Amino acid sequence: MALLSLSPRVLLAACPVLFIACSGDSPPSVVIGVGAPSVDQAVPVSGAPDHGDDPAVVALDLGGQRLCAGALIAADVVITARHCVSVPAGSVECPTKNPQASQSSPAPSIHVLVGDDLSSAVERARGRGLILPHTDSLCEADIALVLLDEPIDDVQALTVRPTGAANGDRVRSVSFGRVPSNGAIATKLILDHVPVIGTTPTELLVGEGPCDEGGCGGPTLDETSGEIVGVASRSVSSDSGASNAYMRTDAFLDLVDQALTVSMFPAATGTGVLKAKKGSPDMGANCSRGVNCASGACVSVGAQRYCSRSCGTHDACPADFRCEPSQESEAVCVEK
C-alpha cells in the first residue's frame, strides 16, 4: 500500500486543544472550571448497535465459512470487498507481489441476509454473478459487485458518491461486529463521526476499531448525505491508532456503472438517507462509557451521562448542543 499522507490539520485533530469554537459560540475559555464536562472517549471508535437505521447494509454469508458486510446500491446489486467473495490466497499484506485473489467463490454460495444481527437476519437472496476488477491483487482493488438472484426491493438502496472523501473529513461506517456486552452475536454496528486520517488514489484510512470477521466489506458513508465513499478492506496499524483501510468507491465508478447497467432494477438516485440533524444517531442517549456510543464519546455533565461527539472550529455541534472544552481537554458537544 502506498504511504498514506497525514495533513497537519489531521495531526491537530488527533491532539485537541482548548482554543476551539463551534456552533457559532464564542471560543471556550482556556480555564477549565470545576463544573466542566468530563468525557470518556473510546479510541479507536468501536461502534454502537444499529437499531434499523441502515437496512441497506446487509450480511454476506459464504456457506457458514466466513461472514462479511455489504451494501445494496440497487435492489439486486451489493457492493462489498473482493476478499469477501474470493477464495483467500493467504493473508492480505500490502504491498505484495504475489497473487491474492486468483479464484472467486461460486456466486450461488453467497447468501445475502437482511437484519440487524445474525440471530434474527433473514436470507433474502443469493448471488447470481460477480463483477470484479481485472487484477489478482487485493491491495489496491479489494472491491466487488455481487448481482443477486432475487431483488431486495423493500429496502432503500444507497448511492455511491462520485467524489471521494479527503483528509480531515468525518464519515459514518456500518459493519457487523461483536457488542462487548454480548460478544456471542454478530450485530450491525454504527461507527459515527470517525475521521479520515489518510488517503491514497484508491484507499481511505479511517480512524476506527479494526473490522473483525463480520465488519470488512461494509460501507463508510458521508455523514450528512448518506452516500457511500468507501468499502472496508482490511485492518491496518498506524501512529494514530487502530484503523481500517477502505477502498475508495470513486476510484471504481466504472465497475459500479457496469453492475448497475446489467441490473434488472433501477439504481438508487440522489443522496442516501438524509439525517434529520447533524450528529451521532444516539446523541443524548444514556451511556456509562464511550464504548456505549456510536461516536465513542460518553459525556458526564453533573449527574447526567449521555452520548455525544467531539467538535471543533470547522466541526459544529447539532442545533441543541454547544461545543465546550472538557476536563480531559477534548472539546465535546454538550446539551444546551
| CATH number of the domain enclosing 111 | 2.40.10.10
Q: CB of 326 within 8 A of CB of 36?
A: yes
The last residue of one of the domains, among 191, 219, 250, is: 250
pLDDT string in tens for the chain (336-residue length): 333 443 333 333 333 333 333 344 444 444 445 578 999 998 888 888 898 889 999 999 987 667 899 999 999 999 999 988 887 665 566 766 666 666 788 999 999 999 998 889 999 999 999 999 988 777 889 999 999 999 999 999 999 999 999 998 999 999 988 765 555 678 899 999 999 999 999 999 998 877 765 568 999 999 888 999 999 998 887 665 668 899 999 999 999 999 999 998 766 655 444 444 467 889 999 999 998 999 999 999 999 999 999 999 889 998 899 999 999 988 999 999
The verdict on residue 49 lying in a domain is: no
Three-class DSSP category at 35: coil
Residue 44, number of CB atoms within 10 A of its CB: 19
* Helix-strand-coil split of the chain, %, nearest 5: 10, 40, 55
pLDDT at 24: 41
pTM score = 0.83
Q: Are residues 152 and 165 part of one domain?
A: no
Q: Are residues 125 and 256 part of one domain?
A: yes
Residue 172: strand pairing partners: 221
Q: Are residues 113 and 256 part of one domain?
A: yes
d(CA 178, CA 189): 8
Q: Are residues 229 and 138 part of one domain?
A: no
d(CA 169, CA 161): 14
147: domain range?
Answer: 57-160+252-262
Q: Are residues 187 and 132 part of one domain?
A: no
The verdict on residue 300 lying in a domain is: no
The verdict on residue 124 lying in a domain is: yes
The verdict on residue 285 lying in a domain is: no
The last residue of one of the domains, among 250, 274, 303, is: 250
Q: Are residues 223 and 187 part of one domain?
A: yes
Three-class DSSP category at 8: helix
Q: Are residues 200 and 64 part of one domain?
A: no
The last residue of one of the domains, among 204, 220, 250, is: 250
